[in-house]
């Protein structure tokens, strides 16, 4: 018995030694991989620190979340058949941008660099003759969406991060099935992680009605690791190629009734009628082709329609398939050009160094910078990560407001009554680098002023942070923020 115990002990020591040796070798290989990849230094250092401090957990997290597939182009966009025509139009618009009377006769001329940036880094056409309607929260957004869906005559295209079964999810399904029975083409792309709770029965009901529903980048073993980290966070609806919706709201009951932990759910969405709907259509059809290999480029998906209003809009996208971090660059340039005021509302604030420096710089130059963040968040780690940036922002004269009415999920940026952005991209590294996102960049004084009014109304539900008071927060809170800050580049 003693002899057997001795053998088992020797085996344990031998196995333990070689397992530790193997882990050490893997850690060295991963660190070399991180260094050779030339990614963001802060992100590299964060991963190295996590892997060294908690080796097993760190290696598992890196396997699922840290590997960078951007250079491998596993998300290569294959485009649509008329891409050459699009590129010719983009080249022409870039060359003749200063001849555009709508720009010449407006204060948009002062922001023309942003328009050129998005044309060059994102092939985002500047579209005219748009009517933009701001929709606040679920009580305005869902009725507008459902009304538009019910009026569809030819096709309905939806691309959504999250669809949850519940009152809103059932309403959506019922309308889509009814329209499909009427002969309307209905296509749905849903993110396989964001809509993880969607039942097979729900999808089967759609399929039985003739609706084409597909998961965007399905997450299945053994390719789980390379897919879970890159998600389709877009929220796009196109009805008959004439009406589009874009913004922060998913199809979930929380946008009407809130949730127990955080309460009321504040968000912003847009209804767009006009030529920029064609840009939304191109995004959907490209993602549809990527997912299904089905090419749809018939003219009926790009109808001509008479000018309604003169709102200038660019639809910007970004994702792991992008050559440039287009939306992040648009945020950076827009922030940097602020002269009078910069207002930002975002649920998750984990900026890279460029965005953080731009915000602090314009604030120190005398620009009125206000940022609304949620006082209650659906992610504790992200919340503390966001709060870790507060001190340096306050020291740079940035006004920080904590939203107390519930949880603000709005992703809104407004500058100088000239330019505004509403969409799906948060002010965080995941939105900038890893998720598929889409934002509407609007060059219109009326829309900017209206969004500013809603922003100022939200301030009435906020508590303004004070640097002196903030510096007195408990030590445990500071430690939590410090730890979250270390992890922030990889959140």
Q: Is residue 247 part of a domain?
A: yes
Over residues 183-190, the mean pLDDT reads: 97
Of the residues 255, 281, 316, the one at which a domain ends: 316
Same-domain status, 287 and 394: no
Same domain, 155 and 179: yes
Tell me if 103 is assigned to some domain: no
Q: How far apart are CA 275 and CA 283, in angstroms?
A: 14
Is 428 a residue of the active site? no
Give the span between the Cα atoms of 102 and 125, in whole angstroms: 14
| Interval 85-99 mean pLDDT | 52
Residue 238 lies in a domain: yes
Q: Are residues 357 and 426 in the same domain?
A: yes
Residues 309 and 343 grouped into a single domain = no
Residue 105 covered by a domain? no
* List 111, 235, 360, 452, catalytic entry: 235
The answer to whether residue 233 is catalytic is: yes
Would you state the pLDDT for residue 484?
Answer: 82
Quote the domain boundaries for residue 39: 2-66
302 and 365 housed in the same domain: no
Residue 220, pLDDT > 90, answer no
409 counts as catalytic: yes
Higher pLDDT, 99 or 376: 376
Looking up residue 229, the CATH number of its domain turns out to be: 3.30.870.10
Structure confidence at residue 91 as a pLDDT band (50, 70, 90)? low
Q: What is the per-residue pLDDT across 37-68, written as a single tens digit (0 to 9) for each?
A: 555 666 666 666 667 666 666 666 666 555 55
Q: Which position among 411, 433, 444, 452 bears the catalytic label?
A: 411
Q: Are residues 272 and 409 in the same domain?
A: no
Per residue in 142-173, pLDDT (tens digit) is 999 999 999 999 999 999 999 999 999 999 99
Indicate if 276 and 147 belong to the same structural domain. yes
User: Do residue 350 and residue 485 come from a single domain?
Assistant: yes
**Any domain includes 111:** no
Is the domain of 140 the same as that of 270?
Answer: yes
pLDDT at 327 over 80: yes
Q: What percent of the chain has pLDDT over 90?
A: 53
Domain assignment present for 457: yes
pLDDT at 212: 96
Mean pLDDT, range 464-482, rounded to an integer: 90
Pick the catalytic residue: 123, 157, 233, 242? 233
Kindly tell me the sign of the dihedral angle through the C-alpha atoms of 291, 296, 301, 302: positive
Indicate which residue of 157, 179, 269, 409 is catalytic.
409
The answer to whether the beta carbons of residues 288 and 247 sit under 8 Å apart is: no
Same domain, 144 and 237: yes
Burial grade of 361 (CB within 10 A; 0-12, 13-18, 19 or more): middle
The verdict on whether 88 is a catalytic residue reads: no
Domain boundary among 316, 339, 372: 316
Q: DSSP strand E in 383-459: where? A: 399-403, 406-408, 412-415, 419-423, 427-428, 437-443
Cα(199)–Cα(33) distance, integer angstroms = 39
Tell which of 284, 316, 348 closes a domain.
316
- 123 in a domain, yes or no? no
What totals of helices (H) and strands (E) does the chain contain, helices first?
A: 20, 19
- Mark whether 360 is an active-site residue: no
Task: Please check the confidence at residue 187 and state whether its pLDDT lies above 90.
Answer: yes
- Whether 237 and 364 share a structural domain: no
Task: Give the chain's domain count.
Answer: 3
Among residues 186, 446, 411, which one has the least CA distance to residue 316?
411
From 100, 267, 321, 416, the catalytic residue:
416
411 among known catalytic residues: yes
pLDDT of residue 110: 77
Angle at the Cα of 109 (from 106 to 115), degrees rounded to 5? 120
Does the residue 321 lie in any domain?
A: no
The single residue of 100, 240, 267, 458 carrying the catalytic annotation is 240
301 and 154 in a common domain: yes
Residue 15: pLDDT above 60? Answer: no
């Amino acid at each position: 018995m003693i002899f057997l115990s001795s053998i088992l002990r020797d085996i344990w020591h031998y196995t333990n030694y070689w397992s530790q040796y193997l882990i050490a070798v893997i850690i060295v290989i991963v660190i070399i991989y991180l260094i050779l990849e030339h990614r963001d230094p802060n992100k590299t250092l964060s991963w190295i620190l996590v892997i060294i401090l908690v080796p097993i957990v760190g290696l598992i997290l890196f396997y699922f979340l840290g590997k960078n597939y951007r250079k491998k182009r596993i998300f290569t966009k294959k485009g649509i058949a008329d891409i050459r025509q699009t590129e010719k139009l983009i080249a022409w618009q870039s060359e003749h941008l200063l001849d555009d009377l709508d720009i010449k006769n407006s204060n948009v001329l002062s922001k023309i660099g942003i328009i050129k940036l998005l044309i060059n880094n994102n092939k985002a056409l500047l579209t005219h003759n748009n009517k933009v309607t701001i929709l606040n929260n679920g009580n305005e957004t869902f009725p507008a969406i459902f009304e538009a869906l019910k009026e569809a005559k030819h096709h309905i295209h939806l691309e959504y991060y999250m669809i949850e079964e519940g009152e809103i999810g059932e309403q959506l399904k019922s309308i889509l099935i009814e329209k499909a029975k009427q002969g309307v083409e209905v296509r749905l792309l849903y993110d396989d992680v964001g809509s993880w709770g969607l039942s097979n029965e729900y999808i089967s009901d759609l399929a039985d009605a003739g609706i084409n529903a597909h998961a965007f980048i399905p997450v299945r073993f053994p390719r789980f690791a390379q897919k879970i980290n890159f998600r389709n966070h877009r929220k796009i609806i196109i009805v008959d190629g004439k009406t589009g919706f874009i913004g922060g709201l998913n199809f979930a009951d929380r946008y009407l009734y809130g949730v127990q932990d955080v309460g009321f759910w504040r968000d912003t969405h847009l209804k767009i009628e006009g030529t920029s709907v064609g840009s939304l259509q191109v995004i959907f059809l490209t993602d549809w082709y990527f997912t299904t290999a089905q090419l749809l480029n018939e003219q009926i998906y790009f109808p001509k329609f008479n000018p309604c209003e003169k709102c200038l809009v660019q639809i910007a996208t970004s994702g792991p398939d992008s050559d440039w971090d287009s939306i992040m660059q648009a945020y950076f340039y827009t922030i940097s050009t602020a002269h009078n005021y910069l207002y930002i509302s975002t649920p998750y604030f984990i900026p890279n160094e460029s965005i953080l420096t731009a915000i602090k710089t314009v604030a120190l130059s005398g620009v009125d910078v206000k940022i609304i963040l949620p006082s209650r968040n659906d992610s504790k780690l992200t919340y503390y990560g966001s709060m870790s940036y507060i001190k340096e922002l306050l020291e740079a004269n940035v006004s920080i407001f904590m939203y107390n009415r519930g949880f603000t999920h709005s992703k809104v940026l407004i500058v100088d009554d000239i330019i505004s952005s509403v969409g799906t991209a948060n002010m965080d590294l995941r939105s900038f680098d890893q998720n598929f996102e889409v934002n509407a960049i609007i060059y219109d004084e009326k829309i900017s002023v209206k969004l500013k009014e809603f922003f100022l109304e939200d301030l009435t539900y906020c508590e303004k942070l004070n640097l002196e008071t903030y510096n007195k927060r408990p030590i445990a809170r500071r430690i939590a923020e410090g730890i979250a800050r270390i992890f922030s580049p990889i959140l």
